[in-house]
Amino acid sequence: MKTIASLALTLFVLSACSPAIGSDEWCEQMKEKPKGDWTATESKDFAKHCIF
């Protein structure tokens, strides 16, 4: 039972990780996300890290 709980916790933690803001992976993820779903902070970070 402990093994199953440990495995479930590990999978949850790993799946919840997102790329660091400004990384190439993050920029690609934002390019795929509809622009209407971006927050003001995401827009600012995208412009700062991915465009300039």
pLDDT of residue 1: 83
pLDDT of residue 14: 62
Q: Where are the domains of the chain?
A: 19-52
* Greater pLDDT, 46 or 9: 46
What's the burial of 45, exposed, middle or buried (CB within 10 Å: 0-12/13-18/19+)? Answer: middle
pLDDT of residue 6: 73
Which DSSP letter does residue 31 get?
A: H
Predicted confidence (pLDDT) per residue in 11-50, tens digit = 666 666 889 999 999 999 999 999 999 999 999 999 999 9
* Greater pLDDT, 36 or 1: 36
Nearest to 21, CA basis, from 7, 38, 8: 38
* Greater pLDDT, 20 or 1: 20
